[in-house]
Structure 1
Amino acid sequence: MEKVRISKLMAERGMCSRREADSYIERGWVKVDGVVATLGERATASQTITLDKNVASQQSARVTILINKPMAYVSGQAEDGYTPAVALITAANRSRTDRSPLRFDRNQLRGLAVAGRLDIDSTGLLVLTQDGRVARTLIGEDSEVEKEYLVRVQGKLRPGGLELLNEGLSLDGKRLKRAQVQWQNDDQLRFVLREGKKRQIRRMCELVGLTVLGLKRVRIGQVMLADLPVGQWRYLAAHERF
């Protein structure tokens, strides 16, 4: 049976990210079949990997934050003339409806990664997390987590366009995963995707004769945007799972 790096196996099993796995291995917090692992060590898929209790303590301290991103904010790093969404995470911007017992601390901003970007002209649910397990669940190569969008459009839909949006389009020479697309009303479509190519929905719409006027992400997996106010944020609750 082929052996692969332990950090890769740990990431595939959803235990943590590969970077986190290497950190845990360096600290002696990972065992393979009961033996402390070493950095760079390989194992087979059938072997048992266990984590020290220190890992659980560290992981539980990591936060995941949900933002209702407004237009004109970039999801990731600051760009010339534009503000990153992480700048919205302040004590004053925390939603009053957030019932999490967590207290805001600026240390929670360290290592926050965007798990599924929204372009600058899009709004809605944006996830930033310190937890590699969450990031992998949402944006890992094998992620199947649904993302739901409400998309306001204009233009004339080409014949068979709705069918093409659901299962017949390719971008960058690669066939897209099957989508769920339906009309919500005369000028708004509902998209449910299981992937997130750059400006995917806008490009899909262009291929069938439509121009996107507004795009809002309202759900990621089982987590809803709901009544989170624009420009505000809350913690992912302990009971919530994507």
Structure 2
Amino acid sequence: MQESVRINKRLAEMGLCSRREADEWVARGWVTVNGQPAQTGQAVTAADQIEVAPAARQQQDERVTIVLHKPVGYVSGLPEDGHQSAAVLVQPGTRWREDRSPRRFAPSHTRGLAPAGRLDIDSTGLLVLTQDGRVAKALIGADSGVEKEYLVRVHWAPNGPQGPGVVAQNVQAVFAPELLQRLRHGLQIDGRVLKAAQVQWQNPEQLRFVLREGMKRQIRRMCEQVGLHVVGLKRVRIGRVQLGQLPLGQWRYLGPSERF
């Protein structure tokens, strides 16, 4: 007997949409199973013939994904503690003049934008905001393995950032190689063993991190465990999408041929 799953999960597994989007498609009558309109929560198997109406694909094509260079002081998601959401920066006047996307800005492009991954309030760099459930699933889904690359300026502060023994210059010279190896693999946060990371020195005061997960304040907490204090953190890449020359506080559309 073939295993059955809910229709929304099956559509997501097929890479067509997110589960939430799938529920919307079913509710609008855009999905059929074996020639019959699908029902919300319906169970299907691999043997069932599932078809999606062109209207669903057209709706997807109208949804946008924004690449933003987030400044320090903005939160990734909803406003909190008096700090604005980075989404408020998505305005016609802050669009990068060198954006090559053929899209013309429309007010609808700012509705329902959700961050596909967090970037701390005191961090800067590449933040992705999207209306597209497929993008969100690819970047923050449970099985996502998309790389995120960061440049991280650090001080050696084994007794805390305000304690004795802080080294702000040529940190690499006082940082033991075995501690660098611990950053790469062997640390835990909240009782969970972290996935292996790529970590290397870019210059004597700056590390390059490449992660395949994104726990809250992960890099800062990793560094604390080995005596480092983060004084600057910038995300420069998500998958194959680079921050590049995008100016601070400005944004562009994800291009039609770009993939994470």
Query: TM-score by structure 1 length?
Result: 0.96
- Report the alpha carbon displacement of residue 37 of structure 1 after superposing the two structures with TM: 1.3
Please report the RMSD computed on the Cα atoms of aligned residues, expressed in angstroms. 1.2
2:227 corresponds to: 209
Is residue 2:85 matched to residue 1:84?
yes
Deviations 1:198-231 (A, max 9, x none): 0000000111110100000000000000000000
- Report the alpha carbon displacement of residue 159 of structure 1 after superposing the two structures with TM: 5.5
- Report the alpha carbon displacement of residue 180 of structure 1 after superposing the two structures with TM: 0.6
Alignment of 1:91-240 (within 5 A): 91-155=92-156, 157-158=175-176, 160-240=178-258
In the alignment, structure 2 segments of 5+ residues that lack a partner are: 157-173
Contact 1:71 1:120 in 2 (8 A): yes
Counterpart CA distance in 2 for 1:235 and 1:49 is 32
Counterpart CA distance in 2 for 1:96 and 1:144 is 32
Q: Is the deviation greater in 200-209 or in 155-164?
A: 155-164
In the alignment, structure 1 segments of 5+ residues that lack a partner are: none
Counterpart CA distance in 1 for 2:209 and 2:130 is 24
Counterpart CA distance in 2 for 1:149 and 1:46 is 44
Aligned length: 242
What is the percentage of aligned positions where both structures have the same residue? 62
2:21 corresponds to: 20
2:52 corresponds to: 51
Alignment of 1:30-45 (within 5 A): 30-45=31-46
- Report the alpha carbon displacement of residue 160 of structure 1 after superposing the two structures with TM: 1.1
Q: Is the deviation greater in 218-227 or in 9-18?
A: 9-18
Structure of larger gyration radius: 2
Q: Is the deviation greater in 155-164 or in 166-175?
A: 155-164
Counterpart CA distance in 2 for 1:177 and 1:35 is 44
Counterpart CA distance in 2 for 1:49 and 1:217 is 39
- Report the alpha carbon displacement of residue 47 of structure 1 after superposing the two structures with TM: 3.6
Counterpart CA distance in 2 for 1:18 and 1:52 is 17
Q: Is the deviation greater in 124-133 or in 106-115?
A: 106-115
Contact 1:148 1:217 in 2 (8 A): yes
- Report the alpha carbon displacement of residue 153 of structure 1 after superposing the two structures with TM: 0.5
Distance 1:197 1:46, change over 3 A: farther
1:60 corresponds to: 61
Counterpart CA distance in 1 for 2:188 and 2:46 is 34
